[in-house]
Amino acid sequence: MDRFPPDPLLSRRAFALGGAALVGAAVTGTFAGSARAAAPPPGEWVDVPVPPPAGRSQLFGIAAPDRRHVFAGGTENAFQPDARAVMLHGTPRGWTRAVLPEGLAVVNDVRARHAANAWAVAAGRNAQERTDLLHWNGRRWTAVASPAGERLQAIALDRTGGLWATGFSGDGATVSVRRHGQWTNTLTLPESSGLNAVAAGSASDVWAGGIGNSQTVTTPLWHFDGTDWTRVPWGSQWAHWILQIEYAAPDDVWFYALEQNPLFPPPTLHHWDGSAFTVHAIPGPSDPVGEAGPLSAVGFLGSIAADGRGGVWLSSPRDPAHLLHFDGASWTRATPPVSVIAYSMTRVPHTTAMWAGTQIGTVWRRS
């Protein structure tokens, strides 16, 4: 599995079932959208020179609070005894490596709404033993208390400044929110497989999702309206693992999900329009209509980011030679600087500029 540390918490970016490749089948459900031979939105993905991490490196989280700042976190010397967490910081003066607390092996998630107020989740070599919440105050990264008794998985910032976090507590999954320096638990799911994805628009519009284990264990997708969490029916025969949630607006939420079908079809893209879901098959390298195809059972599963125009960018392990764009009706392909997978992507607020961190520790930008 292309992921570090050895026993990470469930991630939206990596998944191992064991064995070699399995052949995918047509994904169940009703699909909308197809690929077409057209150019993607104007702009070009380019490589950005950054301080090169040591050895094998990967960037699992990226955040760009404005046009002038970007944070990219991950790991260097991956899978080695001296693996270290790495955080790169880009400003108009150039890129620097930030100093992180000692003993961390990987940064798993990065979020920021202001250049002097960023957050990250990082882990030691054994994520079961050490998972840190980190805060950037404009000068340095420091460890901040997580919810008591919880190991964090994913974080999100809402528009009011609240920090939402999913985690494990005992045998259950939790969602907590931090306001004015204090944590409040808002949801506990006993004996859950985990909630590894969270996205927040406002204090009264938050989504959290995780993994369903079989046809009989339903997909865990929950929505918070400011008062209560409500389980949202997923509406498919098989349970899904929700790998990532990308919030653009109350009626524009994207879900990158993997069906827990024994034939192991590839991930699919789901869209919530405020009242219902639509499902969109993702095209492979030689697939003009987005049908399912072969996919390795061990490896990275991709990432998504809203484009600011009602569509979404997607990086897929099925086609590392391209970055895929979906405008809500049709797929197009763009060529990245190198044929590798973008492990993390984000959009600069109020623009269509995009950033990506890759599986080889490089950073891309689309202006």
Residue 326, Cα to own-chain centre: how many angstroms?
Answer: 17
From first CA to last CA, the distance across the chain in angstroms is 32
**Within 13 Å, how many C-alpha atoms sit on residue 299's CB side?**
19
Cβ 106 vs Cβ 4: under 8 Å: yes
Q: Which of 24-38, 42-56, 204-218 has the highest mean pLDDT?
A: 42-56
Exposed e or buried b per residue across 54-69, where buried means at least 16 C-beta atoms within 10 angstroms of its C-beta: eebbbbbbbbbbeeeb
Closest CA to 257 of 291, 222, 290, 304: 304
Distance CA(297)–CA(315), nearest Å, equals: 17
CA of 300: how far to CAs of 4, 117, 211, 294, 315, in Å? Answer: 12, 29, 16, 14, 10
Residue 92 has which token pair?
A: 């108009």
The domain ranges of the chain are: 14-366
Closest CA to 103 of 82, 73, 72, 76: 82
For residue range 282-317, list pLDDT tens digits in order.
988 866 544 433 333 333 688 999 999 999 999 998
Residues near 237 by Cβ (< 8 Å), separated by ≥ 6? Answer: 28, 215
pLDDT at 288: 56
Distance CA(105)–CA(83), nearest Å, equals: 5
Look at residue 90 and tell me whether its pLDDT is greater than 80: yes
pLDDT-based confidence at 341, cuts 50/70/90?
very high
CATH superfamily of 14-366: YVTN repeat-like/Quinoprotein amine dehydrogenase (2.130.10.10)
Distance CA(288)–CA(275), nearest Å, equals: 29
Q: Pick the residue with more confidence: 13 or 89?
A: 89
pLDDT at 106: 96
Look at residue 47 and tell me whether its pLDDT is greater than 90: yes
pLDDT at 122: 97
Residues near 4 by Cβ (< 8 Å), separated by ≥ 6? Answer: 58, 75, 78, 79, 83, 105, 106
For residue range 134-145, list pLDDT tens digits in order.
999 999 999 999
pLDDT at 126: 84
Look at residue 189 and tell me whether its pLDDT is greater than 70: yes
Report if pTM > 0.85: yes
Exposed e or buried b per residue across 190-202, where buried means at least 16 C-beta atoms within 10 angstroms of its C-beta: eebbbbbbbbbbe
Q: What share of the chain is helix, strand, coil (3-state, %, to 5)?
A: 0, 50, 50
Q: What percentage of residues in the chain have a pLDDT greater than 70?
A: 83
Residue 355 has which token pair?
A: 């950033």
Residue 252 has which token pair?
A: 């524009």
Cβ 228 vs Cβ 186: under 8 Å: no
Residue 363 has which token pair?
A: 């950073």
Look at residue 270 and tell me whether its pLDDT is greater than 60: yes
pLDDT-based confidence at 157, cuts 50/70/90?
very high
pLDDT at 218: 83
242-248: average pLDDT: 96
222 residue type, one letter = W
Look at residue 24 and tell me whether its pLDDT is greater than 90: no
Look at residue 9 and tell me whether its pLDDT is greater than 70: no
Distance CA(51)–CA(254), nearest Å, equals: 32
